[in-house]
Structure 1
Amino acid sequence: MPQKKSSKPKTRYQKFMAQLRRNQRDGKGRPLVLSEGDSWFAFPKELRPSTIDVVDKELDLVLMRLEANGDEVSAMLTGKQRQRLKWYLKRWPFDILLFSGGGNDVVGDKLYPLINTVSNSAPWEEAINKEAMDAAFTLIEFHYRELIDIRNTLRPNCQIITHCYDYPIPREDGSIQCLNQGLIGPWIWPALNEKGLTDPQKQRKFAKWLLQQHRKVLKKIEAQHPNFHLVDTAGTLADDEWGDEIHPTKNGFKKVAGLIGEEVIKHFPTAK
């Protein structure tokens, strides 16, 4: 009697291997893509599709997914996650590394020491702890350069494609309810509110400045490395395309995925 096929869902690795075998059989030359990142790439599926969910659906790729909700770039480029990334780059000739990181390194609990205590009548700029902020973004830049060094050593022709998020709207009701994690968030409003910056317009200006610093770091790196590509997602989302304080709605994720998909196709038209 033939054995009944397992009804268990395939793991990410099993899906990748199945796609790899298909690509070898039909010879269509799909690009091999490795993705690593945070919740903009790995948003809880029960809530809405993430950027990579949409990219995977819309493009024809051989895709291995490593991203995880809540990941920090400091975690992705150290310890076991660093070794895992290196193992995949050594093992297969990936054409593209899609990467999303840095946001979680300056929000949530990480944001409190980066902010000065101020009165709400003070200019929002006074809330910036410049020394702490400079240190935080220097570390983010260091880890991105580590990523490039790993790529250069193991797969120098692999294109790194990343993004710079968008300008969030701090708000008290910006949390989300997840099945496995319960209520999480908001990630910016609590720290600003506790430190005395309670005016919504000033909070929004601070949040925009914070994300602009991340964008500046990535643009500087892009100017120095030809195989590092920043998809400039800043200013992409409308106010009603934020599903919570720091994550897009379903349509917002689709817009971000569209921009990243265009960059992928620019380098590998067979992905279309």
Structure 2
Amino acid sequence: MTTPTTPEELREILTNPNTTQDEIEQLIERDPNPNLAPFKSKLKVKSQLISQNIDDKWFNMVAREYRQKKYQEKIEGDFRGVKIVSEGDSWFQFPFLLKDVIDWISESDDYAAWSLDAAGDTLENMTSDLNIDKIVNAIIDKRPDIFLISGGGNDMFADGVFSELLNPFTPDLTPSEYLNTEFDKFIDEIIKLYRKLFEEILRRFPGVKIICHGYDYVIPRESGIFMGNNMRSKNIHNASLQREIMKLAIDRLNAAQIKLVSEPRFRKSVFHVDCRGAVNQNNWFDEIHPNNDGFKSVADRFKTVIEDIRVQKSLPVRLSTSNVK
């Protein structure tokens, strides 16, 4: 492999479907700088020859381009599986250095996923009128059977938002009492955004099935930049208490999503993947991202829901179940 000296040469290598993971890891790495802001990809190029025009937006763009080339390769053959359009955050696209949910789903011969995903994206941005138009255009063009959406985590943890959702440490508070009234408002707003997206897609494409998900029980770390720092700012330092608070927060988000998809207007068209308990406690890459094995466990739950839709809801595709667990 030739060492790239320009962003264009690096992009050509990274978007080549034949480039191996080993080759990618020779070119880019995770930045160890602990002072970088959360929800930045923290990717950097190893070569000192390339420095200009390489940022999170660039890495997300190149990762999407790579996936879209793989998608085109797959459907150009005699593809009889499930066609998917996905829009989501870093659980759906953690560029290059982690094998995320969409990577694992796309590895199966049974699924072809056209990715619109971007690490660091928020549900608020995904459900903007401009971005919904982008999703709509992708559905018109690709004619998928299923639309996947992953969002809400960045809305909760970016820019210190989570600290605003917590009451400060007080010895006599129960774990649930640390989630304040602003947390209730936050969940209401997230559900409002999901409802807007579901209604708009189903209004235009009543035959498309939609799958959303809640997150697994993320694990705060004392030095963490996603949850640990927010909890420290509220003098919440006990690790067990931190984890119990996050368990309750994740349960609340999942419960609200499950209630939403159970509404009569969505019951036959929108489905929820419950990821709680999917990731072994040793299979976390950082506070909020599983490692490769953890993401595989999450992806397997998506596959199970997709298969249930295919069987129970007469999804008009034919596929084997050899890669579904």
The TM tier, using the shorter chain, reads 0.7 to 0.9
- Secondary structure of the residue aligned to 1:106 is helix
2:200 aligned partner: 150
* The one of 125, 138, 145 aligned to 2:176: 125
Contact 2:81 2:109 in 1 (8 A): no
1:29 has 2:84 as partner: no
Picking from 165, 168, 189, the partner of 1:114 is 165
The aligned amino acid for 2:193 is: H
Higher relative contact order (CA closer than 8 Å, sequence separation 6+): 1
Tell me whether 1:229 sits opposite 2:271 in the alignment.
yes
| TM-score normalised over the length of structure 2 | 0.71
Q: What do you get for the CA RMSD once the two structures are aligned?
A: 2.1
Cα distance in 2 for partners of 1:61, 1:238 equals: 25
Partner of 1:20: 75
Q: Which consecutive residues of structure 2, in runs of 5 or more, have no partner in the other structure? A: 1-11, 17-64, 311-316
Which residue in 2 is equivalent to 1:251?
A: 293
Say if 2:214 and 2:254, in contact at 8 Å, map to a contact too: yes
SS of the aligned residue for 2:144 comes to coil
Amino acid of the structure 2 residue aligned with 1:53: D
Relative to the length of structure 1, the TM-score reads 0.84
SS of 1:87 mapped into structure 2 = helix
Aligned residues: 250
Say if 1:31 and 1:271, in contact at 8 Å, map to a contact too. Answer: no
Change (3 A) 1:112 1:173: closer
Change (3 A) 1:18 1:239: closer
Query: What residue in structure 1 maps to residue 4 of structure 2?
Result: none
Of 303, 306, 309, which aligns to 1:261?
A: 303
Match of 2:191 in 1: 141
Q: Which runs of 5+ in 1 are unaligned?
A: 1-6, 175-185
Work out whether residues 44 and 69 of structure 1, in 8 Å CA contact, stay in contact via their aligned partners in 2.
Answer: yes
- SS of residue in 1 equivalent to 2:96: coil
- The 2-side partners of 1:269 and 1:166 are apart by 30
Give the share of equivalent positions with the same residue, in percent. 28
CA offset at residue 270 of structure 1? Answer: 1.2
1:157 deviates by 1.1
**Partner in structure 2 of residue 178 of structure 1:** none
1-structure distance, mates of 2:112, 2:253:
29
Q: Are the counterparts in 1 of residues 216 and 279 from structure 2 also a CA contact under 8 Å? A: yes
Q: Residues 45-194 of structure 1 correspond to what in structure 2 (within 5 A)?
A: 45-46=96-97, 48-108=98-158, 109-120=160-171, 122-130=173-181, 132-174=182-224, 186-194=225-233
Q: CA deviation at 1:271?
A: 5.8
Please give the alpha-carbon distance, in whole angstroms, between the structure 2 residues aligned to 1:107 and 1:147.
Answer: 21
